[in-house]
């Protein structure tokens, strides 16, 4: 899966802005505010992978780096191997390669491609290796997915359908993105249990300033132009 695009916006700091206002107006450039672009942007592709396989990954091994950014403290790119346990007994293994980048002047793509034993799916395109036409389920609804999601939400609110609650899926996708980020930042393999379970290895992997700091008053802007360096000398 890919989300390879250009660097997003940044706003030069004005003299009247305090540290808190500057960070809020440039939230997309600080890991403390956005979680880095693997969590803020690429999480949408990650969510598709988790949905398709029916589970979050159990392990992430990745790398990344910073070479082009002039603001904030995030990486320019990530490359993560997510390992899933699938099947009725969870003994089968599946690997998903996650590639995300925000660098101007480079090849770009935003898509998911799932390759299996009998064929592959890329977006809405489904192909079989034997050239046979795949059978597609007759799914009723609007062809625009953004319209359909609002239809489903409104029906659940007015009682025309079962209550709709995507909290668990949102949390799992977010934690999956964080797994990849921590692995790239540290150079270590990161298990889902390391961050999802209380007392996990990275359970207290947090950044400052955090939400409570913003509520309490002024904050200190993290040093810009730097990024985590994995490994050791």
Q: How far apart are alpha carbons 139 and 161 in whole angstroms?
A: 16
Give CA–CA dist 62/182, Å, rounded. 9
Evaluate if residue 116 carries a pLDDT over 90. no
Task: Look at domain 2-7+36-216 and name its CATH class.
Answer: alpha beta
Please provide residue 224's backbone torsions phi and psi, each rounded to the nearest 5 degrees: -95, 160
More confident: 217 or 148: 148
What average pLDDT does this structure show over 191-208?
Answer: 81
Q: According to DSSP H, which parts of the chain are helical?
A: 19-25, 31-34, 37-40, 43-53, 145-158, 167-186, 192-196, 211-216
pLDDT number for residue 138: 81
Cα(102)–Cα(121) distance, rounded to whole angstroms? 25
- Alpha carbon distance 38, 179 (integer Å): 10
Q: Which of 93-102, 113-122, 149-158 has the lowest mean pLDDT?
A: 113-122
CA pair distance 45, 132, nearest whole angstrom? 28
Check residue 203 and give its pLDDT: 63
Is the pLDDT score of 183 beyond 80? yes
Q: What is the mean pLDDT of residues 205-232?
A: 88
pLDDT band at residue 88 using 50, 70 and 90 as cut-offs? confident
- How many Å apart are CA 187 and CA 60, to the nearest integer? 11
pLDDT at 87 over 90: no
Cβ contact 57:173 at 8 Å: no
Distance CA 81, CA 176 (A): 11
pLDDT tens digits for range 3-41: 999 999 999 999 999 999 999 999 999 999 999 999 999
CB 81 within 8 A of CB 52: no
């Amino acid at each position: 899966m890919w989300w390879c695009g250009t660097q997003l916006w940044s706003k030069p700091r004005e003299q009247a802005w305090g540290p808190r206002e500057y960070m809020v107006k440039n939230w997309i450039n600080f890991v403390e505010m956005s979680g880095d672009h693997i969590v803020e942007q690429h999480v949408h592709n990650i969510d598709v992978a988790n949905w398709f396989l029916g589970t979050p990954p159990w392990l992430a091994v990745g790398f990344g780096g910073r070479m082009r950014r002039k603001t904030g403290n995030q990486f320019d790119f990530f490359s993560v191997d997510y390992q899933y346990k699938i099947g009725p007994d969870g003994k089968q293994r599946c690997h998903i390669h996650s590639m995300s980048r925000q660098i101007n002047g480079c090849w770009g793509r935003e898509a998911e491609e799932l390759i299996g034993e009998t064929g592959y799916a890329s977006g809405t395109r489904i192909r079989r290796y034997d050239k046979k036409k795949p059978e597609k389920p007759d799914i009723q609804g609007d062809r625009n997915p953004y319209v359909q999601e609002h239809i489903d939400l409104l029906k659940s609110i007015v009682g025309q359908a079962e209550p709709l609650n995507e909290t668990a899926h949102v949390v799992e996708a977010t934690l999956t993105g964080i797994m990849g980020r921590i692995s790239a930042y540290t150079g270590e393999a990161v298990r889902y249990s390391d961050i999802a379970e209380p007392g996990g290895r990275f359970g207290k992997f947090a950044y400052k300033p955090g939400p409570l700091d913003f509520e309490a008053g002024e904050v200190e802007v993290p040093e810009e132009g730097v990024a985590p360096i994995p490994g050791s000398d």
